Structure 1
């Protein structure tokens, strides 16, 4: 005869019974505690008040701690949301700053170009015999000779011997021309000689190119002192350059000769003005 398997639910039933019994005990204890508190509050209110305050003193810190914990965890989702919102706003602000930086850079370039074009237009208005405005497409800056090339030639009326000016001052003179291009001898070339005078007293001198981007101011008499900052302009002597065009400013003081820097820098020029010689050239002999 096969024996019956043991009942595996006995332990479970005992635990259940213990749980039910504990529930009854707690319920009865709670009811008794409530009845005692009710009687105490009815017949001895001061004692009940003292007991209530003592209980509150014990439970208040616990309640405060629980509220802080609950508030912390309740604020976590909001903090996470705020974090991602701040990051997104930060990225947007960085992108806007980058766009504004590009716009500012472009505005500076436009402002610089406009300022140079206005100066060139003012120069054209002051020029008595303007021929054309042309772009300086190249210039030699490393060799011993100093030439520049204009993108205008005989078709635009450009001829050899015509002076070339920039907004800041004298650039040089045309030495060769083609149908649509012209070669300019810069005043910094070693073969360039420009009659000049000092603005503060009219002292005559010669601006001779050095071939290194600067010019020498040479006196036409002896024992002449040049001071740093002396400004020299064209005199009109020789018939090519009109008088009063800025040429160079002395950098280093000297006697009978001084180093000077031209006002016009061909490497930084976009456009230049070609004008007729100060004294009209004689027509070639037939």
Structure 2
């Protein structure tokens, strides 16, 4: 029976040097990683340029992977729509007939509102869109909640711009690179958005929890009762977000501070709209020379 091959380094200097260098590289990598972790914890802005540089390189790859993933995920839905399109058409026609009266009433109210606004000379300031970009990734498992857009300074994206999806507000841009931007999500612990309740205009604050949800906190009042299902939209206060953008829905009834779920889920979104700041800060007035 042939003896088993000896896997120890033995007296081979080449193997000894190889094992030694492997240990040295492993220890050096661990030390460098620890130093970078400590530095990023105590001084996050120092790594902003490095982060956005890496994001600019990885954004095209993430865009391709997101496109392929969304295409594969849409195959079952397309098959289901193909087989059940007749039933869906029947249901849509029935809904149309039921809501026709409500639609006519809504059109009448909208016409009256436009006429009254023209009589009162009221001007609505709407946020202007900058670019439509793809959300290629989001941090769903870390303590911080960010998302990555595949559009940056080349597309006119600047820090502070609000980002929204088809269902509601997503967050705001905090960092930009040439072709990528980092978005602070509503659920992040540093996110605070002034909101109001749709049914009575009650002012409140939507503060991120860091776990995918937000807290709705009352302002200027105590013992405020929140009901499950209460809807909250932006107020326009602060000048960043335009008024009337859906933000969150209360998940469970409570008083003063309750937990709510955001309308826009970054993990299920493909595209997002970047808008200009609702009320930009005016430039400083020039100092008159003496």
Shift of 1:283: 4.6
CA distance in 2, matches of 1:103, 1:244: 35
**1:213–1:157 CA distance, 2 compared to 1 (3 A):** same
CA contact (8 A) 1:134 1:271 kept: yes
SS state at 2:166 partner = coil
State the match for 2:189 in structure 1. Answer: 190
SS state at 2:200 partner = coil
Which gives a bigger RCO, structure 1 or 2 (Cα 8 Å, sep 6+)?
A: 2
State the match for 1:203 in structure 2. Answer: 202
CA contact (8 A) 2:127 2:277 kept: no
State the match for 1:75 in structure 2. Answer: none
CA distance in 2, matches of 1:103, 1:277: 38
The aligned runs of 1:224-243 (5 Å cut-off) are: 224-243=224-243
* Per-residue deviation, residues 121-156 of structure 1 (Å, max 9, x unmatched): xxxxx9640000000011000011000010000110
Q: TM-score, normalised by structure 2?
A: 0.55
State the match for 1:170 in structure 2. Answer: 169
CA distance in 2, matches of 1:212, 1:280: 30
CA distance in 1, matches of 2:235, 2:128: 17
Q: Which protein has the bigger helix share?
A: 1
State the match for 2:144 in structure 1. Answer: 145
SS state at 2:212 partner = coil
**1:181–1:283 CA distance, 2 compared to 1 (3 A):** farther
Q: TM-score, normalised by structure 1?
A: 0.56
Over 4 Å off, 4+ runs: 102-105, 107-110, 283-286
CA distance in 1, matches of 2:164, 2:216: 19
State the match for 1:106 in structure 2. Answer: 78
State the match for 1:264 in structure 2. Answer: 264
CA distance in 1, matches of 2:229, 2:141: 27
* Per-residue deviation, residues 180-229 of structure 1 (Å, max 9, x unmatched): 11000000001000000000000000000000000000001211110001
The aligned runs of 1:43-192 (5 Å cut-off) are: 105-107=77-79, 128-192=127-191
Q: Which runs of 5+ in 1 are unaligned?
A: 1-101, 111-125
CA contact (8 A) 1:127 1:275 kept: no
State the match for 2:251 in structure 1. Answer: 251
The aligned runs of 1:29-40 (5 Å cut-off) are: none
Q: Which runs of 5+ in 2 are unaligned?
A: 1-73, 83-124
CA distance in 1, matches of 2:127, 2:195: 19
CA distance in 1, matches of 2:130, 2:162: 10
**1:104–1:229 CA distance, 2 compared to 1 (3 A):** closer
CA distance in 2, matches of 1:285, 1:265: 41
State the match for 1:278 in structure 2. Answer: 278
CA contact (8 A) 2:135 2:272 kept: yes
